[in-house]
Structure 1
């Protein structure tokens, strides 16, 4: 897990070059990543997602693919948002721009995602059973249906970031 500032500030997950994925913990064993004997692996399916976000079936649930670019990504619970680091001089600069980015974002790719509980963010090339051996971030989401929307924003002249915001819908 990458850290760019003081310990405990924000934990970032990086990719080896492909998309990052957010898989419900309950179905982690069903995500095979780049492993497998099928012609199209789970990783291949993740790479085919067009746009900032998309959903892929995994077990009896769905995983959220963070598409577009393999940017370092973290989750900011206060904003209910995955923040994707496209460009910034420092982590502090990037994080300081998040509120302005959320206010100015032009949201796209809205999807509805049913989540059975906590989820794990990691590189989609890895099998779900290997997340403990690689960079990952556990996000303790409450079970329920979420609206997921995505955007890119430029809150400053040298600061660009991607946003993937989750909003829990009422039961």
Structure 2
């Protein structure tokens, strides 16, 4: 993705072509990525997720798979939202469109996710133990239960995004 905004404004993560996955840091060693020795690797399980988001068990926790299509993804903590850029002219255009896109999004049914603490978002093909040595982003979510909802949005004529929003549940 071409970056025009202030350098360091946001960190983006991309995959090599498959889904991204947000794994709780406490269970990173249990995610084997494409290196699994079974018939279906963890990566294969992630690829089977149908839709924009899905949950997969990892160790004694659950990971969030970002399905649909590979897209550069950034976490905007001020909105509690992952922004996935499907198409846009610039990073500045993407970031400027987020507030209105959140307001007008037609959200898909949400899933409930128990988050034990900090998460690492990375290409699902990588083993969790090596994920921080690759393209990754840390998501600092407070431990607790979240409603996770996702939507395709088109905030501009040539801007397409997928939004994945985390809403704390009480």
Q: What residue in structure 2 maps to residue 167 of structure 1?
A: 167
2:15·2:70 contact (CA, 8 Å) conserved in 1? Answer: yes
1:132 shift after superposition: 2.0
Look up the match of 1:69.
69
Question: For residue 146 of structure 1, what is the aligned residue in structure 2?
Answer: 146
List structure 1 segments (4+ residues) > 4 angstroms apart after TM superposition: none
In structure 2, the gaps of 5 or more residues are none
Q: In the comparison of the two structures, how many residue pairs are matched?
A: 169
Q: What's the C-alpha RMSD, in Å, of the aligned pairs?
A: 1.1
Normalised by the length of structure 2, the TM-score is 0.97
Q: Which moved more, 1:6-15 or 1:85-94?
A: 6-15
Deviation at 1:3, TM superposition (A): 7.4
User: Which blocks of at least 5 consecutive residues in structure 1 are unaligned?
Assistant: none
Determine if contact 2:74/2:82 at 8 Å carries over to the other structure: yes
Cα gap change, 1:85 to 1:31, in 2 (>3 Å): same
Alignment partners' CA distance in 1, 2:128 and 2:153:
30
Kindly state the Cα deviation for residue 109 of structure 1 after the two structures are TM-superposed. Answer: 3.5
* Secondary structure of residue in 2 paired with 1:109: coil
